[in-house]
Amino acid sequence: MTDGGFDELREVRVPRPPARIVGLAVLVIFLLVAGGSMFYQVGPEEQGVVLRFGEYSRTADPGLNFKAPFGIEQVFKIPVQRQLKEEFGFQTVRADVRSQYSTSGRREEANMLTGDLNSAVVEWVVQYRIVDTYKYLFRVRDVTETLRYMSEAIMREVIGDRTVNEVITVGRQEIASLVEVNLQQLCDTYETGIRIDQVVLQDVNVPDPVKPAFNEVNEAQQERERLINEAQAEYNRVIPRARGIAQQTIQQAEGYKADRVNRARGDAERFTEIYNAYASAPEVTRQRIYLETMGKILPQVKDKIILDESLQGILPLLDLKSSTTNEGGK
């Protein structure tokens, strides 16, 4: 290219746009940026908390809302209708039909000391909702971390008041209910703005190194309970029977006593009546008693010999009947 060609290029000038068009373009860009920062959407399960220069201004309901642009007002969207949860002693790696859990880094908060100085591994879940967005954002610096500290402290306190058997077996529901009540009271005291829905003991067990010894203790306790139950059953079988026999014996003795007393009283009254009759007519009574007595005795005597009391010089007689009987026997 010759020098003349360069000169021609130098003489070409790019036309500058009018200042009005430039200003209009800047205005459009400004309006787009401002409009993008002025409107915001709050979800159906959320509430928007608007801060103006870092200070609380108002609470926005779900839907399309307006705020001052360029960072004058900021919006924090809080899920007030969603149930949140915190896991202790474990964490969910993947939630699915078959969820996967991990205890990596969470084992220390699950190790607890029971009231009988035994060790237990307690894994639990705290389910809660945000009910006051103002308190949630401004009363406590980090509500989630504070909730974890409070929940762990209360759980250790409740576990420390119970034996390991209560923690692992029959006392789980009571522990969960008591932790829920105490945790809610503490959240209200600190004005966290959250409501505890439920505390669930996910898994409660003894540490792996002591499981064999713990199982042996449980087996021994079960054997003891079995022997106690058998002894109680034997007691329930023998003692009532012995009490029944004793009561029967007492009643028989009472009956025998009443019979003897009544008989003695009857005999005494009969003797009294006889004596009174005898006193009124001695000869007649004596004769009657003699005849009644002989009437009872004589029928029992086989051979009878009746003699007159005035008879004298009795001649012995040959007992022909006895002799006949002896000859027949020969």
Contact present, 133 and 192 (Cβ < 8 Å): no
What's the token pair of residue 280?
A: 């009124």
Q: Supply φ then ψ for residue 207, to 5 degrees.
A: -60, 150
| Type of residue at 147 | L
pLDDT: which is higher, 70 or 236: 236
Q: Confidence class of residue 314 from pLDDT cuts 50, 70 and 90?
A: low
> Which tens digit of pLDDT belongs to each residue from 197-235?
999 998 898 888 887 887 787 788 889 999 999 999 999
Contact present, 90 and 106 (Cβ < 8 Å): yes
Which residues have CB under 8 Å from 66's CB, separation 6+? 38, 39
What's the token pair of residue 85?
A: 């949860």
Where does residue 137 rank: exposed (0-12), middle (13-18), buried (19+ CB within 10 A)?
middle
pLDDT of residue 230: 92
Task: Give span(s): CATH 3.30.479.30, the chain.
Answer: 84-206
> Which tens digit of pLDDT belongs to each residue from 315-326?
555 555 555 555
3-state secondary structure the chain: CCHHHHHHHHHCCCCCCCHHHHHHHHHHHHHHHHHHHHEEEECCCCEEEEEECCEEEEEECCEEEECCCCCCEEEEEECCCCCEEEEECCEEEECCCCCEEECCCCHHHHEEECCCCCEEEEEEEEEEEECCHHHHHHCCCCHHHHHHHHHHHHHHHHHCCCCHHHHHCCCHHHHHHHHHHHHHHHHHHHCCCEEEEEEEEEEEECCHHHHHHHHHHHHHHHHHHHHHHHHHHHHHHHHHHHHHHHHHHHHHHHHHHHHHHHHHHHHHHHHHHHHHHHHHCHHHHHHHHHHHHHHHHHHHCCCCCCCCCCCCCCCCCCCHHHHHHHHHHC
What's the token pair of residue 92?
A: 């969910």
pLDDT of residue 198: 95
| Location of structure tokens 């025998």 | 256
> Which tens digit of pLDDT belongs to each residue from 257-312?
999 999 999 988 888 887 787 778 788 877 888 888 888 887 877 776 666 666 66
pLDDT: which is higher, 27 or 139: 139
Contact present, 127 and 200 (Cβ < 8 Å): yes
> Which tens digit of pLDDT belongs to each residue from 68-119?
877 788 888 999 999 999 999 998 887 776 777 787 878 888 999 999 888 8
pLDDT of residue 156: 95
CATH architecture group of domain 84-206? 2-Layer Sandwich (3.30)
pLDDT: which is higher, 95 or 60: 60
**Mean pLDDT, rounded, for 122-151:** 94
pLDDT of residue 127: 96
Q: Cα–Cα distance between 113 and 256 in angstroms, integer? A: 68
Check whether 330 has a pLDDT greater than 50: no
Looking at every residue in the chain, the average pLDDT score rounds to 82
Check whether 9 has a pLDDT greater than 50: no
**Mean pLDDT, rounded, for 124-135:** 94
Q: Confidence class of residue 161 from pLDDT cuts 50, 70 and 90?
A: very high
**pTM score, whole prediction:** 0.59
Distance from chain centroid for Cα 132: 34
**Mean pLDDT, rounded, for 169-182:** 92
pLDDT of residue 34: 58
| Location of structure tokens 């010999």 | 305
| Type of residue at 68 | A
